[in-house]
Amino acid sequence: MTSAHVDTFAHDHLPPLELQPEFLFDGPDLQFPAQLNCATELLDRWVTQGQGDRLCVQGMAQGVRLRWTYRDLQAQANRIARVLVEDLGLVPGNRVLLRGANSPMLAACWFGVVKAGGIAVGSMPLLRARELTQIVTKAEISHALCDARLADELAQAQAGCPTLKRVLHFHTPSADGLEARMAAKPATFDNVDTSRDDTCLIAFTSGTTGQPKGTMHFHRDVMAACACWPRHVLRASPDDVFIGSPPLAFTFGLGGLLLFPLAIGASTVLVEKATPDALPAAIAAYRATVCVTAPTSYRAMAAQLAGHDASSLRKCVSAGEALPAATRRLWKDATGIEMIDGIGSTEMLHIFISHDEAHARPGATGTAVPGYVARVIDDAGRPLQPGQIGRLAVKGPTGCRYLADERQRQYVQDGWNLTGDAYLVDEDGYYVYQARTDDMIVSGGYNIGGPEVEAVLLLHPKVAECGVVGAPHAERGQIVKAYVVLRAGHAPGDELVRELQDFVKAQIAPYKYPRAIEFRDALPRTETGKLQRFVLRREARA
């Protein structure tokens, strides 16, 4: 096995072997050749096999609707690889920052970097200069490909980023922009012959506290992710048209909206604006068949679907947060579709516990995806019995490798990846999410998972959204506190507080009911749609 990396930074900053998780490669799907470039497998392969005219990626660029075939995307990625190598002096192993909302050009940039043996580092479009500086510094990023509309924030960051020497902008007619340089290059490129164990991707976690963590993934990991959840659970077909909201900088979006459709020769729609207001119209316009987004987005879309033709949809994937049973129900009533829920993480690259449509169980995430094993353990690492709440531990062909980070010891213990989630396994072997382990509420000696209370509140017809956290309390230690956003046309008040409290008490053990309820116009969320419970907790403390 020969690494192609001339710049050995990634290899030099892997966690020591004894701190890495155990990797499992059982079965013929998970055997990979020693030399492997995932761009060859996901993109060039189709052109080589005579399928270059198949539709690959659609979207908008500067107001123009694009429809690229596999051959088109390959040509664009090849030109970008040439610009990186020939004009910007990229050598294999260099890190390249990618910045932009989802678009065909951003996808071409990802493949351009990976073809050239570089390491793609995505960044959420809303990141500010301070956060960009942290990422560039941590990953010692040398190059950036950046949407011209996001140029300012990166320019501000660059002042504090001595490693970042070359920045090119795309989506610009400028003579020294990426497109102008691409136009001067032939559409061919020989992909760098990377090892399956060369890093091709560093994904930063959207950490809520402290420095962001960079997770390193190899060419092999990308192909392994494609061989597990999409092949065994999603089971999409080459004629499927994928669409959705998660940014390509988030591995949920990278896999669900780029790697997985391409792995099977299907096509993807990359829309810049995929909010719940905009997505239904896009689904109708592109006749999309597979939708990938977060639970809250489905909940908001369910209310707006009338008036849009969503009849093309056949599979809907939810991840990023627990999927409440009420949201599954709303979506099924609106579309007839049973959603596919799955838990994944940036560290694991993609989804490792899930279920298909036929095995969906409201309120449960599912079972270990083929290729992965999972268990629920206590604080000493001992497996627990069904029904007991403990820490989720997983192993499979992908796993956590933090870039030079002490926190590796927390995520990986005894070869298992510990995701930080509290789970139980029910009598039938389904994994049921409780809370993030550090989000568990302890009230009067009881352990209460906020999401369970949220799931009940969401069943109430007047509740649009809610977040439940522990608020400090003199006698009980903590009390359950709910922050509630009401549906249009309902007014907050003491009477409604009592109504919601009684509603919860009638559905689950009364000790779990929210002793405090506060009404809000909106809830704090990350760019990936996750509820920021730490913000609510901070407010509950104040």
Interface residues with ligand 3UK (CB under 6 A)?
Answer: 205-206, 251-252, 319-323, 341-346, 350-351, 365, 419-421, 433, 436, 528
Minimum gap (Å) between residue 341 Cβ and ligand 3UK: 5
- Please, which residues bridge with residue 57 across strands? 68, 268
Minimum gap (Å) between residue 75 Cβ and ligand 3UK: 29
- Minimum CB distance to ligand 3UK smaller for 68 or for 250: 250
Could you give the CA distance from residue 150 to residue 164 in angstroms, rounded to a whole number? 16
- Minimum CB distance to ligand 3UK smaller for 266 or for 323: 323
- Minimum CB distance to ligand 3UK smaller for 214 or for 320: 320
Alpha helices in 287-430 (DSSP H): 295-302, 325-335, 408-411
- Minimum CB distance to ligand 3UK smaller for 101 or for 339: 339
Hey, CA dihedral for 211, 344, 407, 404, is it positive or negative?
A: negative
Q: By three-state DSSP, how is residue 504 classified?
A: helix
Minimum gap (Å) between residue 119 Cβ and ligand 3UK: 18
Minimum gap (Å) between residue 317 Cβ and ligand 3UK: 9
For 259, the token pair is: 């790697």
Minimum gap (Å) between residue 336 Cβ and ligand 3UK: 21
- Minimum CB distance to ligand 3UK smaller for 58 or for 206: 206
For 37, the token pair is: 């470039």
Minimum gap (Å) between residue 411 Cβ and ligand 3UK: 10
CB-CB contact of 99 with 134 (8 Å): no
Angle at 314 (CA atoms; ends 308, 317), nearest 5 degrees: 95
End-to-end CA distance of the chain: 56
Q: Which residue of this chain has its Cβ atom nearest to ligand 3UK in the complex? A: 344
- Minimum CB distance to ligand 3UK smaller for 349 or for 486: 349
Closest CA to 189 of 116, 94, 263: 116
Closest CA to 297 of 319, 265, 282: 319
- Minimum CB distance to ligand 3UK smaller for 255 or for 280: 255
- Please, which residues bridge with residue 481 across strands? 469, 516
Minimum gap (Å) between residue 136 Cβ and ligand 3UK: 20
For 56-85, the DSSP string reads EEEEEETTEEEEEEHHHHHHHHHHHHHIII
